[in-house]
Amino acid sequence: MQNSTELESNFKRIRSLIPENVQLVAVSKTHPAEMIQSAYDLGQRVFGENKVQELLAKQPVLPRDIAWHLIGHLQTNKVKYIAGFIDTVQSVDSAKILHEINKQAEKHNRTIKVLLQIKIAAEDTKFGLHKDEAEILFQQYLAGDFPHVQITGLMGMATFTEDRETVKKEFSTLKNIFDEFSMHRQLQTLSMGMSDDFQLAIECGANSVRIGSALFGKRNYGTSF
C-alpha cells in the first residue's frame, strides 16, 4: 500500500491531466478508510465503490459530505442499505434495478441520481444495457416513470485490451449514444475512462472519469478494509 505522500503526488498529477470541467471519481475499493480520508483532505469529494458491504463499512466513519458513487453491479436486495445516502448509482444495468432504486429513494424521501450503464465492450462478462434497452428506460423516465430517480447520464467500460483503436471505437460509440439521448433531454454526465485509458476517454468526450489504481496504487484484494 502506498503512503499519503505518493497519494498527494498522484492526485496532483491526475488532476493536472484532467480538464477543470471533468469530474474525477476516486475509486477507493479495497483501500482503507484512512486512505480515503487522506484524499478527502487533499480536496477530493467524490468516491466510487463497487461493493455494497464495503461501502457500508466505510461510509459511517468518513465525512458526511462525500458524494458516494456505486460503480459496480448492484443487486436488487441491497439497494435498501444504500438508498439513504448514495449520491449516484453509475451502474444501472436493468429495468429491475432502476425500479428498485426509485422505490427505495421514495421511502427515504430522496431523489437518487443514476447513470445508465451501457454495454460497449466486446467481452460478454461486462454488465450493461444494450442501447435499445437503455432507450426504452430513458423514454419511460421522460414520460414520468421513476419520479425518485434522476437519470443524469451514461456510463460504460471499454474492453480490457492494449488495442487503443478498439477502446477508442467503444468510447466513441458511447459518446454517440449520449448525444442521441441528449436530443430528447440533455444529459450531464458521460462516465468513461479508468486509470489506463482516461485521457483517451476524455478525448472521446468523457466528462467524468473513474480512477482507482493510478491514484491509490495497486489493489490488494486480500486486504480487508
Q: How far is the CB of 212 from ligand PLP (least distance, A)?
A: 3
Q: How far is the CB of 8 from ligand PLP (least distance, A)?
A: 18
Distance CA 21, CA 2 (A): 28
Distance CA 94, CA 117 (A): 9
- Footprint on this chain of ligand PLP (rule: CB under 6 A): 27, 29, 50, 71-72, 157, 194-196, 210-214
Closer residue to ligand PLP, CB minimum distance, 50 or 189: 50
Q: How far is the CB of 216 from ligand PLP (least distance, A)?
A: 8
Closer residue to ligand PLP, CB minimum distance, 98 or 121: 121
> Largest Cα–Cα distance of the chain, in whole Å?
50
Distance CA 208, CA 174 (A): 13
Closest residue by Cα to residue 145 from 93, 106, 177, 119? 106
Query: By Cβ distance, which residue is nearest to ligand PLP?
Result: 212
Q: How far is the CB of 213 from ligand PLP (least distance, A)?
A: 3
| Rounded alpha-carbon distances, angstroms, from residue 160 to 37, 93, 217, 223 | 30, 19, 19, 24
Closer residue to ligand PLP, CB minimum distance, 67 or 110: 67
Closer residue to ligand PLP, CB minimum distance, 45 or 107: 45
